[in-house]
Homo-oligomer: A and B are copies of this chain.
Amino acid sequence: MCRIALDVMGGDYAPHSTLEGAGLALAAHDDLYLLLVGDETRLKSLVAHFGIRGDLAARTEIVHAPSVVTMEDKATSILKDKKDSSIRIAAQLVRDGRADGVVSMGHTGAAMVASKMILGTLPGVDRPCLASVMPNMIGGPTVLLDVGANLDSKPEHIAQFALMGALYAEEVLGIKRPKVGILSVGEEDGKGTDTTKSAAQVIKQLDLNFGGNAEGRDIWNGNFDVIACDGFVGNVVLKSSEALAEGILLGLRDSIMQGWLSQLGGMLAKPAMRRFMKKLDYVEYGGAPLLGVKGVSIIGHGRSNGRAVSSAIRAALLGCEHHVVERIQDSLAVLLSQATPT
């Protein structure tokens, strides 16, 4: 049985989306035990509405948290006036050994601070990093990390990101010997900054399936399974891609809705378009793992619906079952003992 603490109050549509996701995840995974963290009175009256009854309810407990971190709060508020917030209390459950992992769809910054400060960083990890599982054009996932704005990463940080991303891809996404790349401005070894070139040297010493430099287009074409980069470029690419994909899909829809003939066409083509858009959907891959902290931590999109929450819980469950945290810790110990400082 794996125990996951869910920040039920975090997310644009919480607690409804999170409870719906909890219900879906409990029904799908017999070995899942959920600690539902949030306003006790409110949650008690709501859980049954979301199908969490009988056998499912028996695998849950409600843990009271009186406050919520809102979008207006600073990320560091959990260290000061929001010490009793659902995200902080959910992280504390992992720290205290009452849960194996934590899942939040709330304030990304607060969830990162909670995971880093409350769970703490694994020995040997200089910087925990946020990985984004991008749906690529050949229908699989490509892990891009760091996207969590670790700025001015050093070569050894980027090598650690690569290693952690590879372990996540293998254990949670089920990719055998994932192909790892370093994000740069050209395929050739000589292309890139001193930092990316040194990072490549560090990664070459590790037991990874290293494919050299990846370019921007490789995030989407499926040529790599894991692409490591500094958090500045990762964050910019992630936000830019979300806006571009959404803009294209909304723009196409608006254009199609402008005439009755194309509206009819759009109706007929809708199932096919939906089928493709499902491939692009972040919902399938269940949120962004924060790697390098002492516990499984999955940070979902604020706009997550029930299905996305359920996927995020599933990702946390797989992370626990496959001992991703322990595997990262062990691999980093090897990395530290092998790698030549740069």
Hey, which bits of chain A sit against chain B, CB under 8 A?
A: 137, 149, 151-152, 183-186, 192-194, 215-221, 229, 231-233, 235-245, 247-252, 254-256, 258-259, 261-262, 264-273, 275-276, 279-280
Contacts and interface: CB of A to CB of B under 8 A. Distances in A.
B233 A236 contact: yes
Given A193-B151, A248-B248, A268 B273 contact: no
Nearest to A252: B276
A227 to B, nearest CB: 10
Contact of A240 (B194, B220, B232, B262): B220
Given A268-B261, A269-B256, A221 B236 contact: no
A293 to B, nearest CB: 20
Q: How many copies does the complex hold?
A: 2
26 contacts: A137-B250, A149-B186, A151-B185, A151-B192, A151-B193, A152-B193, A184-B232, A185-B232, A185-B236, A216-B243, A218-B243, A232-B233, A241-B241, A248-B249, A252-B252, A255-B273, A255-B276, A259-B272, A261-B268, A262-B272, A265-B265, A265-B266, A265-B269, A265-B272, A266-B268, A269-B269
B237 A240 contact: yes
Contacts of A273: 252, 255-256, 262
A272 B269 CA distance: 13
B256 A235 contact: no
A220 B249 contact: no
A247 B136 CA distance: 9
A239 B251 contact: no
A29 B212 CA distance: 47
A218 B192 CA distance: 25
A235 to B, nearest CB: 5
A231 B137 CA distance: 26
A271 B240 CA distance: 27
Contact of A251 (B186, B252, B276): B276
A244 B241 contact: yes
A273 to B, nearest CB: 6
